[in-house]
Every structure is written in structure tokens, then in C-alpha cells.
Amino acid sequence: MAQPSKKDELSVYLYIPNIIGYIRVIINCGGFALCYTNKPLFAFLYFFSFVCDGLDGYLARKFNQVSTFGAVLDMVTDRVSTACLLALLSQFYSPGLIFLALLGLDIASHWLQMYSSFLSGKTSHKDVRDKSNWLLKAYYGYRPFMAFCCVACEVLYIILFLYADKESPKLSDVSMNIIAERSLVSLVFVLTLFGWAIKQVINVIQMKSAADSCVLYDTKRTK
């Protein structure tokens, strides 16, 4: 069987969506380098990188440049950037353990889902057609719903980051103050809270479903 040439390997690295992925890494590095000195600029760069996450997926499908490397790059970039932001919020708010718990849930859920997908021979961790949970199917099967939940999480974290203007403020106090403002930010905050809550439920369901898939794989292998 013919081995792939170096030229073929290089072409995957130079896929348009993968190039966007590299740009996202650079943007995130620059943003986090400024997170303590220029919070508005960090928020803009972070959200711009998040928008590019949707763009690279669209371009991958449009130009038929879907790749395993691109999927892994996208997943790692998403998880690391969100983890870093949650780690920052754990420093700014009390109790910080809430954000560390969310960080752990996010990574565990997505890592287990991707690993169990590959064990099942799937080409994407978003393939949940064999799952029984309707919410998980709705999340991955209806892109606007998934987009709402993902955007809600990131926007909520960005708002909390921007409002953390004193050392270790209480999360509950800041949240209530934002809602009490009765402004556009208040409305966005409430909407993102709703989407964020759904996303966390989905993360728990996804983690349990992926764990069940791994156990099923072990059971079949030992028979």
C-alpha cells in the first residue's frame, strides 16, 4: 500500500480551517498576555477567537477540508482557552472552586466524548446518532441550539471577567448587581445564564454517555 507523501501531509497542515486554527492560537496567546492590563481588549480578542471557531468549521465543510488533525486542533484550542478563562475567574471570584469545577467538567466531558467516539470508529465526536438521550441529540443535531449554548457560556464568562473589578468579589453579589442594573447587559446576562445552565447539563449527560460507551467497548472486548 502506498504511503502518503510529505507533500500530502503538508497539505493537511495548510488546510484553510487549520490555518484559522493557528491564528486562533496566536490570538488567544496575545489576549491572555493582556488579560491583567487591558481587560476590554482581552474580551474582544477572546470573543473574536471564539467566532473564528465557527468560521473554521464552516470553511472545512465548504472546501471539503475536514480533517482529524483539524478536529483535534479545534477541540484542544477550545478547551484550553475556556480552561484558562475559568482559571482566571477562579482567581477573581469567591468561591473560586466553582470555576475550577466547571473547568474539570468541561475537559472531562469533551475528552471522554472524543475518546469514546474514536473507540466506536466514528469520524467525529459530534456523531451521537446511537445515543438515547434526546437533549444530547438535539445539541449536536441542531446547530443553532448548540451555537446558542456555546455562545451563552463564553459570553457569560466574559461578562463576569469584565465585572470583576475588585479582589475576590463574591460571585453571587456581582451576579445580582448585574441583573439589578436593568440594562442591556442585564438582559444578555440572564439569557446567557439560561444557555449556560443547559450546557452544563449536557456536559454531565455527555460525560456519562461517553463513559458508558467506554465500558461497553471493554465488555465486548473481553467476551
Catalytic residues: 78
Residue 65 grid coordinates: 477540508
Strand partners for 94: 170
Query: φ and ψ at 153, to 5 degrees?
Result: -60, -50
Strand partners for 170: 94
Q: Where are the alpha helices (DSSP H) in 35-96?
A: 39-62, 68-92
CB 156 within 8 A of CB 179: no
Query: φ and ψ at 94, to 5 degrees?
Result: -125, 130
CB 134 within 8 A of CB 140: no
| HEC profile of 137-187 | HHHHHCHHHHHHHHHHHHHHHHHHHHHCCCCCCEHHHHHHHHHHCCCHHHH
Residues with Cβ within 8 Å of residue 142, at least 6 apart in sequence: none
**CA neighbor of 57 nearest in space, from 66, 48, 69, 44:** 66
